[in-house]
Amino acid sequence: MRVGLLTREYPPDVYGGAGVHVEFLARELRSLVDLDVHCWGEGRADGVVRHRPWSALDGANDALRTFSVDLSMAAALADRQLVHSHTWYANLGGHVAKLLHGVPHVMTAHSLEPLRPWKAEQLGGGYALSSWAERTAIEAADAVIAVSGAMRADILACYPALDAARVHVVHNGIDTDLYRPDPGTDVLTRIGIDPARPYVLFVGRITRQKGVPHLLRAVRDIDPAAQVVLCAGAPDTPEIDREFRELHRELSRGRDGVHWIPRMLPRPEVVQLLTHAAVFVCPSVYEPLGIVNLEAMACGTPVVASRVGGIPEVVEDGKTGVLVPVDDDFERGLARALDDVLGDPEGARSMGEAGRERAVGEFGWDAVARCTARLYAQVLEGGR
């Protein structure tokens, strides 16, 4: 099968869970199909074609610039038998390629625009365009992959015109050889983290979706012996950047041991941070699956996470971590759950061991790729 994989993010430009998904899916798919990856960027490498927005749109709304990349991708897919797009940044490219070249379009939904209304803060009128692109692509796609059962339910609720038989669940995966406990502490020392003190770790983008302001308020009153490590960058908007900085300053004034790393670190450094954390926290208010929780579990670290979306399909409450309802008591609930884990090192160790076992046994990328390739074959044979 000659497959074109369409994505915004691809190494070395990966900043979120969708990019991680595409990186590892592509790696495993190469042994199963003839794969070309089409992504944003400059230049071309073996099996990877990079596209950049039309220069005439420099300074224009980001949604318009995205559409220019989609058109470039569609034009380059004439030799592909099937196209597979990821996120709204590439969905329109997949849809146009389907129409232009008469090939099936498979799309993976990593999130849904109707459930992310805060994107209007980032995109302005472009949010109406991103929503239109997603709806157009998803309703016409030959198959839609949901990264969790909860995500499948969301897709069908948001897009009732979509035939439910076309929506398939294929979970995100994890490379448990790359994400595994690292006994080293050199990264901690360089950053200034005290290895002798427990720390709560957050890794993610500064967005409304990731619930970072909730976290910064929740950790004000947790055990003062605990450090707070925030590996948080790529703010969506100047407004949330300012809000984050204000809350960070307030938190730092009220307790010591607050460490902010304002950039995305190389993977080996993140692995070391995950390994030595007393607890990893994921305060997302919307999360189709939450691949970062798998990364923490694979490193043997217990997880405190919000009980939303697909997170309960990854984090087993009471066994590999603690789930907190997103309700009016969310921030206090996060604080209580973090203190419970911090106060029970033996229980935390057992949760971490169970998390590693679950990540290894149930979420390998090889299995994800095989399921995806089987779906390609089914679509090409005329099934759904």
pLDDT number for residue 252: 96
Look at 118-132, 143-157, 206-220 and tell me which has the smallest mean pLDDT. 118-132
Q: How far is CA 173 from CA 25, 90, 192, 204, 365, in A?
A: 8, 21, 32, 18, 5
* pLDDT of residue 336 exceeding 90: yes
Average pLDDT, rounded, for the chain:
94
CATH of the structural domain 2-173+364-380, one choice from 3.30.300.30, 3.40.50.2000, 3.40.1280.10, 3.40.50.300: 3.40.50.2000
Going along 208-316, which residue ranges are E strands? 227-233, 258-261, 279-282, 303-306
Q: How far is CA 184 from CA 181, 271, 315, 362, in A?
A: 9, 10, 26, 27
Any idea what the Cα angle at residue 233 is, between residues 229 and 236, rounded to 5°? 135
* Dihedral in degrees, nearest 10, Cα atoms 285, 287, 291, 294: 60
Kindly report, residue by residue over 157-212, the tens digit of the pLDDT: 999 999 999 999 999 899 999 999 999 999 999 999 999 999 999 999 898 889 99
Question: For the chain, what are the domain ranges?
Answer: 2-173+364-380, 186-362
Structure tokens at 286: 């919307």
Confidence band of 383 (pLDDT split at 50, 70, 90): low
Cα gap 294→280, rounded to integer Å: 11
pLDDT number for residue 121: 80
Q: How far is CA 147 from CA 29, 84, 88, 110, 314, in A?
A: 17, 14, 15, 6, 11
* pLDDT of residue 102 exceeding 80: yes
* pLDDT of residue 221 exceeding 90: no
Mean pLDDT on 32-38: 97
Instruction: Please indicate whether the domains covering 2-173+364-380 and 186-362 agree at the CATH topology level.
Output: yes
Cα gap 143→152, rounded to integer Å: 12
Any idea what the Cα angle at residue 173 is, between residues 31 and 45, rounded to 5°? 45
Q: Do residues 59 and 28 lie in contact, with contact meaning Cβ atoms separated by under 8 Å?
A: no
Q: Do residues 166 and 145 lie in contact, with contact meaning Cβ atoms separated by under 8 Å?
A: no
Q: Do residues 107 and 87 lie in contact, with contact meaning Cβ atoms separated by under 8 Å?
A: no
Provide Rg for the chain, Cα atoms: 21
CATH of the structural domain 186-362, one choice from 1.10.10.10, 3.20.20.70, 1.20.1740.10, 3.40.50.2000: 3.40.50.2000
Cα gap 163→358, rounded to integer Å: 32
pLDDT number for residue 382: 86
Nearest Cα neighbor of 346 from 302, 287, 285, 316 is: 302
Kindly report, residue by residue over 234-278, the tens digit of the pLDDT: 888 899 999 999 999 999 999 999 999 998 899 999 999 999 999
Structure tokens at 253: 């004034």
